[in-house]
Amino acid sequence: MPSTTDDVVATLAEHAAALDETHAATDRRDRFALPDGVVYLDGNSLGALQRHVPAVVADVIRRQWGADLITSWNLHGWWDAPTRVGDRIGRLVGAAPGQVVVGDSTTVALYQSLGAALRMRAGRAVVVTDPASFPTDLYVVAGLAAEHGLEVLTAAPTEVPTVLAGRGDDVAAVVLSHADFRTGELWDLPGITRAAHATGALALWDLSHTAGAVPVDLDEHDVDLAVGCGYKYLCGGPGAPAFTYVAHRHQSAFRPPVQGWNGHAEPFAMGAEHRFADGVARARIGTPPMLSLLALEAALDLFDDLSVEAVRARSLSLTGFLVEALAAVVPEVTVVTPRDAGRRGSHVTVAHPDAYGVVQALIARGVVGDYREPGLVRLGVAAPYLTHAQLLRAVLELRAVLDRGEHRAHRERRTVT
């Protein structure tokens, strides 16, 4: 295709400027320490660093750990941090206080939550999941199913209600991601949860690609259990701990398979037998990673004056404009993310035969996205620190990459794509 005409670019630039003015109140770029000249479109893998977080972490290291030492568990509230930070995340996912705890990884949180769900639905022999879910979710489901002698039924989220109608009495739990990690498609959390409950099954959702970017409303939709990571749209930093949501109505029956001392009713009694703590604290396991946990707590300050609903409105405008600009400037690529705003999460995915090379060539031009199999370019839109003008630049850089064949120079793949 020939280079984009000046009038098309000018029209898109005017539109981008108008949209940026419309959404100026939710622009938080000044809070982030992003490199000059970089358009960062990988916040769906690792959220950007906020400027104030290094000072918070430095204080934790030098004063709390360095000077106050072990007294910081009491003096600086380290012991209560998993539930304190959990309540802050709870506000972002629509959970009333006392239902979210932070610690460990998403994989561990999912293992614990599904293990507890299987105990709560003992006697049921089936777990339903999406074969296109993030691999760690599939691995955890397969491992627990093998351990318990259960059958795993796979179905696309749109097909799950039909599967439940046919096998519902046998289903212990439905385990799904709220958004497809490849395409960004948003699934029907309320409807699927209702369908699970109609058969007596539990609904367990992975919110890793929506927490902090999309309103979830866990309590409103009677979700049973949920997990999610802290390092994507919550901007908690690499390896930031995950969170676990356990609805109040299930907490007394929630018995995760790994029973750690932090989840004990009297952890400092040092008793030989385990007794679960009351409330969501029973989802704790061992000593939490305090540096990462407190960095995440600081990062959540972003949402003190920015609601998830406002983030979502900005995100939909940004992703909608990105889809529009791609269609106008790079029509030969295939956008696999839904155009329908109600079905779109917060990233836009483009299919291309040389997608890995496209991603690497874009990075060389200062536009950072990532690659996923099979042949997908993911452009993550973390709304608080992106503008419509930046997304137009990303699209124009993509046009230049393809016109100049720069994507063909990148054949050797790195470990992290």
Active site residues: 134, 206, 231-232, 378
> Quick count: other Cβ atoms within 10 Å of Cβ 268?
8
Angle at 266 between CA 285 and CA 102, to 5 degrees: 30
Q: What is the CA radius of gyration of the chain?
A: 22
**Which of 244, 346, 236 lies closest to 302 in space, CA to CA?**
236
Phi-psi domain of 39 (left: phi exceeds 0; alpha: psi -120 through 50; beta: other)? beta
CA distance 267 to 260: 9
CA distance 122 to 116: 10
How far apart, in Å, are the Cα atoms of 290 and each of 62, 96, 134, 394, 397? 13, 24, 27, 37, 40
How far apart, in Å, are the Cα atoms of 32 and each of 50, 52, 101? 4, 8, 26
CA distance 357 to 65: 44
> Quick count: other Cβ atoms within 10 Å of Cβ 23?
18
Q: Is the dihedral of CA 129, 133, 136, 138 positive or negative?
A: positive
Determine the residue type at 82.
Answer: P
Beta strands across the sheet bearing 225-228: 100-102, 243-246, 225-228, 202-206, 171-177, 126-129, 151-154
CB 381 within 8 A of CB 348: yes
